[in-house]
Amino acid sequence: MALDTDTRLNSLGFAKPPAETRVVVAMSGGVDSSVVAAKLAEEGYDVVGVTLQLYDHGAALAKKGACCAGIDIHDARRVAEEMGFPHYVLDYENIFKDAVIDEFADSYLAGATPVPCIRCNERVKFKDLLETARDLEADCMATGHYIQRKTGANGPELHSAADANRDQSYFLFSTTPEQLDYLRFPLGHLPSKDATRELAAKYGLAVADKPDSQDICFVPNGNYASVIEKLRPGAAEPGEIVHADGRVLGTHDGVIHYTIGQRRGLGIGGLSEPLYVVKLDVDAKQVVVGPKEMLATRIVPVREINWLGDAPFDSRPEWHVSVKVRSTRPPREAIIRPTSPTTANVELLTPEEGVSPGQACVFYETGGSRILGGGWIWKG
C-alpha cells in the first residue's frame, strides 16, 4: 500500500505543499527579515512581504535628509523584486504614534524607562499587522526575530533563541498564545548572526552586509531627550539634584536627561562617596541621588502580565522561575506571587540594582529555554 505523503507537515507546520501555503513576512528592510522572506520564497512558499511605514524621520528629528525609514522600505522592496514575490508598504504612522510614541514620551516623563520595542510588537506588529495577514488569507505570519516557537504538549510554546547573544525573548514576552499559534520565527534556531549573513549572501541579497540597527527606531541617534522635547515641549525644565537625605547638591536642566542607576554626568563633583540616581521625581522636578545600596531591589511589583505557562497564572500561590529585569542581564532566580490574573509581586532571590519602572520583567523556566510570559515593572 502506498504511503500517504500528503499528511506530512511542511517546514512551517502545515499539512500541504509550500506552494499552497501563504505566509506574510514582516519586512523591516534589515538583513534578518530579508533572509526569512528569501528563504521561504526559495522553499516555494506563497510569500507576501509587508513593510510598515511607522514614522517619518525627517519630521521626528525636524531636519531634512534623515529618512532612514525610506531606505529600509527601498531595501525591503528590492529583496521582494529579486526573489519574485509581492511586497506592500502600509502606512501605520498614526497607529504607531498613538500606540507607541505617545506612551513612550509620557512614561519617560513620569520617570520610567520605557521599552517601546515591546509595545510595538504587542500593539502594532502582532496586532494590526497580524490582522492584515489574516485579511490576506495567509496561513501564518513570519518575522526575523531571534526566538523559537516549539510545539509542546499543550500547544505552541515560546523558547529562547539558540544563540543567546541574539535572543530577543525579552522583547516578545507579551505575545499571546493565540498570536503564537499564528506566528513563525525561522531564524530562532540559527547558531549565530554570521549564519544569517551567510544565508543573505547565498541568496544574493544586497542587504547581506547591512549593519544592525542599534537604537530605538524613532530615536535614531540614541538621544531620547531631544525627541521627548519635540513631542512634549517644556519637558526639559530645570530643577534640583537632591541627596536622599534631603541635601541640595546642585541643579539639572531637565529630569528627562537622567535614568535610574545613572552615575556619570551628574555634574556634582567633589563628594567623598559615588552617588547614583535612585529616583526621578517629575512633579517636584527633582533628581534624587544616593549611595549604590539604595538601588538594590528585592521585591518588584509587576502588572499587565501575559502568562504563557500551561496552568492558569493564579492557580498557584507562587511560581519558582527565573526572571530578567533588563534586556541585557541574564535570568536570575525568583519567586512570583500572583495577586490577580494579571498582577504579581516578584521576589528576586538575589537583589538587583537599577530595577526601573517602565522596564519589563520577563519570566523564564529555570534551567530551560521556555519563556513563561512577563509583565511591566511599576512603582506599586
Catalytic (active-site) positions: 120, 217
Largest CA distance in the chain: 87
Instruction: Give, in order, the Cα–Cα distances in Å from 24 to each of 28, 119, 156.
Output: 13, 21, 19
CB 378, CB 357: distance < 8 Å: yes
CA distance 73 to 363: 34
> What's the gap between Cα 129 and its chain centre?
16
For the range 366-369, what are the long-range contacts, defined as Cβ-Cβ under 8 Å and sequence gap of 24 or more?
366/320, 366/321, 366/322, 366/331, 366/333, 367/322, 369/148, 369/159, 369/160
- Cβ neighbors of 26 (< 8 A, separation 6 or more) are 33, 50, 51, 52, 125, 129, 141, 142, 143, 144
CA distance 329 to 334: 14
Show the cell assigned to 39: 528563504
Instruction: Give, in order, the Cα–Cα distances in Å from 141 to each of 4, 34, 46, 136, 193.
Output: 28, 14, 12, 11, 21
What one-character DSSP code corresponds to residue 26? E
CA angle, 196 then 34 then 74, to 5°: 140
For residue 89, the number of C-alpha atoms closer than 13 Å in the C-beta half-sphere is 17
CB 13, CB 182: distance < 8 Å: no
Strand 344-353 relative to strand 332-338: parallel, antiparallel, unpaired? Answer: antiparallel
